[in-house]
A and B are shown apart, each in its own frame.
Chain A
């Protein structure tokens, strides 16, 4: 049969458009951030060429927050003479002039009214000047985060529309793909994808959990000194939901020098709990005399409390991202390194003497594909990940129930998600119980039976007493993986089931053996990237009032006429 081939482009245009729109949003989000960061950076860099000019601070005042959502800022005004003409300006720096009290206090000390200082004047527009022209070099590494977004967006669009060359038979139905050398791009793409998870998880986790815990540990020997509370309040920040933090300002002296502190403890950022923040702010009222812990190496750093607060556990959420990223990378690399079961190689000219390069199971003692502990680890991670995310919304919904403004939609919307979370918790407990089941020992001779060949299986089950029935089957199934847009679908179809043992006899359950034949008309083990023929020995032990024994063992079925014992 001779055939000609033609190129054929794959369809699914609406799906591609949807994916592309999503990717465009992804890329635009990244570009927006890069633009903002670049603008601030370029402004600072451009000001390096501005003319340094003497100036006098005319006015300067700390602006206290007007409401819980605002921050401290320093309002400054200065005048300068440039080319014989007097100008006045009010710009402190290119970045935001708002900040925490200590930062603003330092600015008020550096630029008090009446002080002579230096400002930087734009020579092309002398009315444009700035007091602090520091270039934010430390911002540069952070540009990688929006850059990743841009790369993922553009890469996603490219791969969505990348044409696949497919060949079609000229006279019938089946399509013959153009043979390709196996690509590694998928593995690298997965590594990049999970790498983002790992980076974000580690980066965020450092600030939310590792750094505070390290500080608590390292501050064990910090001396305690008397201090006086100057002010306290509950600061709020509004995003998707309002979060709160206790802001306490206190004065203390260390080795005869006065200092100001603004840290209650080592937890940075704000949490969603108003009550705990209000309790802290309430207990540290203005004028109260108490003690604070001072860093002897940097007396400017002091905290009122160095205790571990339960809120700190929330800081572990990024660790879930890091764990997912780490496991994903390991999985992707292992997937790439996986030895293909090429149960053949090119025979000598003329055929006949097949030389195997098969490197499957070298021992006849079979190892289970998955143990309850591995499954437990997987399900536990999934349960923590799912429930951690769901709990945030459940908390919001629950909080609304304690007020007059009940969030009905959110409450009902969350019900299926909560049910899935409960199901995952149930599965964790179920798998945990399975981990206490006895572990059978199975031996197969030959380790890799051939199609049409005979094999002997023997088994031993320690602590068999609670098992009431044992069933062992050899199962062959097809597994086909397909990709549709961003979704991977795996379909399975069992084509062979060979019963090897089915017994309720206690002695046979303890230890036994059986022989079986793999049908010659079947298919040997086959392992390609997306399509596989898989053979598994399945052992099921029924137990009363306890999760059953459920183990699967991979068996490599060889092509017919190939007996590994001859090799």
Chain B
């Protein structure tokens, strides 16, 4: 069985914008992979179709069937990790063996605050048609504040 895993140094799970992220990739293969790519990326989860974007990538030299190698990236300035009512954004580093596709992933929070921003909804959601109609004067439910 082929195994590839990735770890962030000291198990750190929170980074500031621009901070350096270091870690280590370990692998154990039965057949030598062509290469192992390490990606730094963000991804969204929640109500919408997930979005992802690879921000930076490096290619590791694979000398043998088993081994380990360190990596480092500089975390970009944005986007910040956040938790909303509809969307959650988080960051991760992943190691992908090619061409077999085995991968290991490690997530982390990227924010200038102590915790990711929590975006709380401040309005009761209206069904679509009422939302459209509420823009027109005769259908307005509430007077202008």
Interface residue ranges, A against B (CB under 8 Å)? 1-5, 167, 174-182, 343-352, 354, 356, 427, 430, 469, 471, 476, 478-483, 491-497, 502, 520-524, 526, 528-531, 533, 540, 542, 547-548, 550, 559-562
The complex places the Cα of A401 from the Cα of B120 at a distance, in Å, of 56
Query: From B72, which residue of chain A is reached at the shortest CB distance?
Result: A349
Is A1's CB under 8 angstroms from B106's CB?
Answer: yes
B119 within 8 A of A: yes
Min CB distance B42 to A, Å, is 9
Is A2's CB under 8 angstroms from B7's CB?
Answer: yes
Partner among A2, A350, A491, A530 whose Cβ is within 8 Å of the Cβ of B51 = A530
Is B48's CB under 8 angstroms from A559's CB?
Answer: no
B75 within 8 A of A: yes
Known contacts A1-B107, A174-B45, A540-B144, A547 near B137 by CB under 8 Å: yes
B78 within 8 A of A: yes
Is A430's CB under 8 angstroms from B137's CB?
Answer: yes
Is B136's CB under 8 angstroms from A530's CB?
Answer: no
Min CB distance A187 to B, Å, is 15
- Considering only residues 6-47 of chain B, those with a C-beta below 8 Å from chain A are 6-7, 11, 13, 16-20, 39, 41, 43-47
Residues on the A chain within 8 Å of B52, using CB: 177-180
Min CB distance A404 to B, Å, is 39
Is B82's CB under 8 angstroms from A2's CB?
Answer: no
Is B49's CB under 8 angstroms from A562's CB?
Answer: no
Is B137's CB under 8 angstroms from A176's CB?
Answer: no
The complex places the Cα of A559 from the Cα of B77 at a distance, in Å, of 7
Q: Which of A478, A482, A560 has the most CB of B within 10 A?
A: A478
The complex places the Cα of A471 from the Cα of B82 at a distance, in Å, of 29
The complex places the Cα of A174 from the Cα of B89 at a distance, in Å, of 11
The complex places the Cα of A559 from the Cα of B82 at a distance, in Å, of 12
Min CB distance B71 to A, Å, is 13
Known contacts A493-B125, A548-B137, A523 near B84 by CB under 8 Å: yes
Give a binary string over B107-142; 1 marks a CB under 8 Å from any A CB, 0 the rest: 110001100010111110100000000011110000
Partner among B18, B105, B119 whose Cβ is within 8 Å of the Cβ of A176 = B105
Min CB distance B127 to A, Å, is 11
Query: From B119, which residue of chain A is reached at the shortest CB distance?
Result: A495
The complex places the Cα of A180 from the Cα of B42 at a distance, in Å, of 11
Is A354's CB under 8 angstroms from B92's CB?
Answer: no
Residues on the B chain within 8 Å of A526, using CB: 78-79, 89
The complex places the Cα of A497 from the Cα of B54 at a distance, in Å, of 32
Other than A2-B6, A349-B74, A351-B16, give 18 A-B pairs with Cβ distance below 8 A: A1-B108, A5-B104, A167-B105, A179-B41, A181-B54, A343-B77, A347-B74, A354-B18, A471-B145, A493-B86, A493-B125, A495-B122, A496-B119, A520-B113, A524-B79, A528-B51, A530-B50, A531-B87
Is B49's CB under 8 angstroms from A3's CB?
Answer: no
Min CB distance B126 to A, Å, is 9
Q: Which of A176, A179, A343 has the most CB of B within 10 A?
A: A179
Partner among B19, B50, B82 whose Cβ is within 8 Å of the Cβ of A523 = B82
Is B144's CB under 8 angstroms from A491's CB?
Answer: no
Is B84's CB under 8 angstroms from A495's CB?
Answer: yes
The complex places the Cα of A530 from the Cα of B87 at a distance, in Å, of 10
Residue pairs across A and B with Cβ atoms less than 8 A apart, 14 shown, are: A177-B50, A177-B51, A344-B17, A345-B76, A346-B55, A354-B17, A471-B144, A483-B49, A491-B47, A493-B123, A523-B119, A524-B80, A530-B44, A540-B144
Residues on the A chain within 8 Å of B138, using CB: 430
Is B107's CB under 8 angstroms from A3's CB?
Answer: yes
The complex places the Cα of A533 from the Cα of B119 at a distance, in Å, of 10
Query: From B75, which residue of chain A is reached at the shortest CB distance?
Result: A351
Residues on the A chain within 8 Å of B16, using CB: 351
Partner among B19, B39, B77, B84 whose Cβ is within 8 Å of the Cβ of A478 = B84
The complex places the Cα of A4 from the Cα of B95 at a distance, in Å, of 10
The complex places the Cα of A1 from the Cα of B144 at a distance, in Å, of 49
Is B136's CB under 8 angstroms from A179's CB?
Answer: no
Is A351's CB under 8 angstroms from B54's CB?
Answer: no
Is A182's CB under 8 angstroms from B17's CB?
Answer: no
Min CB distance A517 to B, Å, is 16
Is B76's CB under 8 angstroms from A480's CB?
Answer: no
Residues on the A chain within 8 Å of B5, using CB: 2, 4
Is B84's CB under 8 angstroms from A430's CB?
Answer: no
B103 within 8 A of A: yes
Residues on the A chain within 8 Å of B84, using CB: 478, 493, 495, 523, 533
Is A346's CB under 8 angstroms from B46's CB?
Answer: no
Residues on the B chain within 8 Å of A471, using CB: 144-145
B70 within 8 A of A: no
B53 within 8 A of A: yes
The complex places the Cα of A482 from the Cα of B48 at a distance, in Å, of 4
The complex places the Cα of A479 from the Cα of B34 at a distance, in Å, of 40
Residues on the B chain within 8 Å of A356, using CB: 77
B56 within 8 A of A: yes
Min CB distance A389 to B, Å, is 20
